[in-house]
Structure 1
Amino acid sequence: MVTTTNPEYLLSLRAVREQNKRIYECVKSGKLQHFDIDLDKMEEVVRFVTLLVKRDFDDPSEMPSHSRWRHFDAGEQPRIKQLLASMSSSSALDKAKRLIDLFVISILLDTSPLHQWGYQEKSTGRVYRRTEGVAVAVLEIFKTGLFSSDPGDPYRVDAAALADLTVDDLANGFQISAKNTLVGLEDRVNLIQHVTETMKDYSSLFSSKDKTSSRPGNMLDYLLSHASTVRSNKSSAVQMETLWSVAILLGELWAQGSKVGDKLMGDVWHCEALKSTGNSDCYLPFHTTTQWICYSVIDILETVLSVTVDGKDQLTPLTEYPNGGLLLDTGLLVLKKRDLESGLSNYRRNSLLPGQPKIEVAPMFDINDSVVIEWRALTIYYVEIVASKVREKLRSKKHLTLPQILEGGIWNAGRELAEISRPNTQEPPIVIKVNYAWLLNIDY
């Protein structure tokens, strides 16, 4: 049996589902520290999500997969389709590499709540906020060639250009002003430098065949040529484990998660609730950013290259705001009174700081707070149950995948409830405060 103090295990994908299922030990024994569970609400949650899917899709099997792609198309604008059309002279492989470049840099620059920041799209004049705003902004920056060191090849992201990226470059690209602020801008640049160093350190995965550039998109050469990849005349199949081994190098940013031995583990955290059940191994891995990269790369592989990924069903629900928020806004999860009061006090203190939200008070906790760790574990566990029950309700002729139900149902439901419950900010029912000093290099 693999113990949860094994760093290799904690960095694996299978550990995410296996370890977070253990939160049910706390539910059964009544040892949850911060939340009460009202399972009478489960049917209501499932019904709400199912109704939204039926409202938005005549055929549920047409639901798109959960992927960064959807955020680029905010406002029902097919921006990625238009971008691909502008690359008509490029091969499918080259197009896929460029999209991976774009999606990865966009995901890594979208690492915290953005409060009052917004991005006004030049072509439409529309203002987009939060994760859609970041996606649209990064796409516009990408098209200017800022992320490319080759003026003749602007549509790419390479290490040489990222190494020269400045705070002013990012501030201009994100339309930062005295009235449109973005917390942690300098730290986002530092994060990009971390990615640059990672691509250099793992040149066998990210360098071009002629060794002239290092790019996220070059992972395709490694994936498609890997010994585990199944190739045929019609298509290829990449193994999930192979994709995971690359994505985790880019996605594990949280150096302040847990330290096992002398090893910093990234998005892995010690869970006090599990400790209360008598467990000595109490580490819970979430690997949210790494999974988000995997979901998005899989979408590109399947859509642009018709390459499948074997084992993608190992991916879990993500601990994103809409997913966890859905469980709270519907009352399936209820924050205990003492934690609610503590979180509200945190929010009020934080509201006194410049650029921080001051309306629609919601409980706030640091990313490493045991409230947040417990919430994230419960999100993975119960969202998977909701997805399974929604699949049964819809009874589609075609098998509905977890990514489809997340995108077409659960994520949308969480966002819509946030808009209804907190219309001014559309923030989640619990606000996580991110400390950018925690975005440090990870020791692998």
Structure 2
Amino acid sequence: MNAPDPTTALALADHLRTAQAVRAHSQAILQLAQRGQARHFVYHPARLAEAAAYVAGVIRQRYPGGAIPYHSRWRHFEPGGVDRWAQVATSLGLNHDGQRLERARARVDLAVTSVLLDAGAGPQWRYLDDATGQTLTRSEGLGVASLRWWAAGGLSSSPKAPWQADAEGLQRVSNEALAQAFQVGPDNPLVGVAGRVQLLRQLGRVMQAQPQWFSRPDAPGLLRPGHMVDWLFAHHPTGEVPAGALLALLLRALGGIWPSRHVMAGQPLGDCWPHPDAPHGWLPFHKLSQWMAYSLLEPLEDAGLHVVALDDLTGLPEYRNGGLLLDLGVITPRDATFFSHIWRPQDEAIVEWRALTVALLDPLAQAVRDELGLSLTDLPLARVLEGGTWAAGRAIARERRPEGDPPVQLDSDGTVF
């Protein structure tokens, strides 16, 4: 499937690592579905309005005042209405005005590493947050566990700066350390422990190999994701950062983290998968990288940077958004055994499901705006997702299945979903 001409292959690899490619390639699969020609799913457009009404109802319930935040990892630090980030920032001395830049760096360190740890937890795992007494599961449990681990210095090489996630500290992370931090045991299994550890270690190695994005002149030996804040200030002197440029930075700087599933012209493609009906034969998603971009909006704004053109990013093709479409019958599988089969991320049916999820989230978002009487400016996709489709996907899952499991059974390695 790789292009034979190296120049063409490199150009295609660069193209596949853009938000524009994610949207355009997924829309090509939706166009097939609209003609009844998608290989694995049937699209029922009349049910999109029903889904929009359901999502709008969830938004009204969750945000009656209309102040919907961005879809980001920061929401997962707040279960039970507890602002754990604010508490931790205060305890670490990062809450003062004079610490604005260092606080932003620390928040990026936290967001990047927490997102890397955010792939599905599995149905059995639980986390007891000792500080609040809450028992948390799934994304909130993973978020709070990662916050506590980071704040305790679990990713730092410096006892004097526990809020750092630096290359040296990350490469020291072990399966045992993560298991302890996340309270993993025989009766509390967590999916993909080794995969998550490898992502953190690989982040450390990638930063060492590419210091131009992860160091700063006054601390050349200290390599942190948070130093991307300094890079963005240097390369966007107006203070405005297009969302597509932010994603491009993450895909360039962090692309070497992901397992080398597919490589083109020497470039790792990341969350990008073959499909015979896709443009050039590929469907890029970059789910965790886009989730990371959404999760950096608040830290960057805290630093004084303004991320613009947010809707250049796409909806996220994960099991809550995609599960919403399946549970509400917007798309239905052709194969009667689809829901009983255990799927891998690379399976063609799953790749197609994810593409339809990305493509359908755009018209679904507009239908939700119409339901609520809001404009694109009032309710960008980043807020529709939060308000929103992700929460609605979880809500409908709980209505349909006792444990709130997604409708699709996935064999996850902890690096995609």
1:217 pairs with 2:226: yes
1:405 pairs with 2:411: no
The residue aligned with 1:325 is: 323
- Cα gap change, 1:252/1:288 in structure 2, threshold over 3 Å: closer, same or farther? farther
The residue aligned with 2:295 is: 296
The alpha-carbon deviation at position 251 of structure 1 amounts to 5.6
1:28 pairs with 2:28: no
Q: Is the 8 A contact 1:252 1:290 kept in 2?
A: no
The residue aligned with 1:417 is: 396
1:100-134 Cα shifts (integer Å, max 9, x gaps): 10111111112234231111001122111111111
Q: Is the 8 A contact 1:255 1:265 kept in 2?
A: no
1:141 pairs with 2:149: yes
The alpha-carbon deviation at position 55 of structure 1 amounts to 2.0
The residue aligned with 1:350 is: none
Residue identity in the other structure for 1:221: D
Where in structure 2 are the equivalents of 1:18-417 lying within 5 Å?
18-60=24-66, 62-86=67-91, 87-89=94-96, 91-209=99-217, 210-226=219-235, 229-231=236-238, 236-248=239-251, 249-250=253-254, 253-255=257-259, 257-260=261-264, 263-272=267-276, 274=277, 281-302=280-301, 304-340=302-338, 344=340, 346=341, 364-396=342-374, 399-417=378-396
Q: Over aligned residues, Cα RMSD in angstroms?
A: 2.2
The alpha-carbon deviation at position 191 of structure 1 amounts to 1.8
The alpha-carbon deviation at position 254 of structure 1 amounts to 4.6
1:139-188 Cα shifts (integer Å, max 9, x gaps): 11112111111111111211111111222211111112221122332332
Q: For residues 331 and 86 of structure 2, what CA distance do their matches in structure 1 show?
A: 39
Q: Is the 8 A contact 1:208 1:215 kept in 2?
A: no
- Cα gap change, 1:252/1:434 in structure 2, threshold over 3 Å: closer, same or farther? farther
The alpha-carbon deviation at position 196 of structure 1 amounts to 0.6
| TM-score normalised according to structure 2 size | 0.91
| Runs of 4+ deviating beyond 4 Å | 2-5, 251-254
Q: For residues 121 and 251 of structure 1, what CA distance do their matches in structure 2 show?
A: 32
The alpha-carbon deviation at position 263 of structure 1 amounts to 4.3
- Cα gap change, 1:251/1:102 in structure 2, threshold over 3 Å: closer, same or farther? farther
- The alignment-based identity, stated in percent, is 32
Query: Which SS does the other structure have where 1:246 is aligned?
Result: helix
The residue aligned with 1:353 is: none
The alpha-carbon deviation at position 81 of structure 1 amounts to 2.3
- Cα gap change, 1:47/1:240 in structure 2, threshold over 3 Å: closer, same or farther? closer
Q: Is the 8 A contact 1:252 1:267 kept in 2?
A: no
Q: For residues 327 and 240 of structure 1, what CA distance do their matches in structure 2 show?
A: 26
The alpha-carbon deviation at position 4 of structure 1 amounts to 10
The residue aligned with 1:430 is: 408
The residue aligned with 1:351 is: none
Query: Which SS does the other structure have where 2:56 is aligned?
Result: helix
Residue identity in the other structure for 1:30: G
The alpha-carbon deviation at position 415 of structure 1 amounts to 0.7
- Cα gap change, 1:416/1:189 in structure 2, threshold over 3 Å: closer, same or farther? same
Q: Which moved more, 1:193-202 or 1:108-117?
A: 108-117
Q: For residues 4 and 221 of structure 1, what CA distance do their matches in structure 2 show?
A: 28
Q: For residues 335 and 369 of structure 1, what CA distance do their matches in structure 2 show?
A: 14
Q: For residues 384 and 365 of structure 2, what CA distance do their matches in structure 1 show?
A: 6
| TM-score normalised according to structure 1 size | 0.85
- Cα gap change, 1:29/1:337 in structure 2, threshold over 3 Å: closer, same or farther? same
Q: Is the 8 A contact 2:51 2:364 kept in 1?
A: yes
